[in-house]
Amino acid sequence: MRRTRSLTVLLNEREYKAIQDHCRERKVACRSEWVRLTLMKEIFHEHMLHAPTLFTEEEMR
């Protein structure tokens, strides 16, 4: 899928250094792809946690 939207994020020095160090240690070749995948993984995880279910939690026990 072609990406046509842009997102800019401001970081403080400590956050930026943490990302730089992480990418260097793990030999991340493309930081934008890594950030996108990391962000989307967290979004999908949150979505699954809060998605409506057919049964209540008590009924599933």
Domain range annotation of the chain = 13-51
> 0.85 cut: is pTM over it?
no
pLDDT in tens, 32-51: 999 999 999 999 999 998 88
30, pLDDT greater than 90: yes
- Please, are residues 57 and 49 in contact by the beta-carbon 8 Å criterion? no
If phi > 0 it is left, if psi is from -120 to 50 it is alpha, else beta; for residue 27 that is left
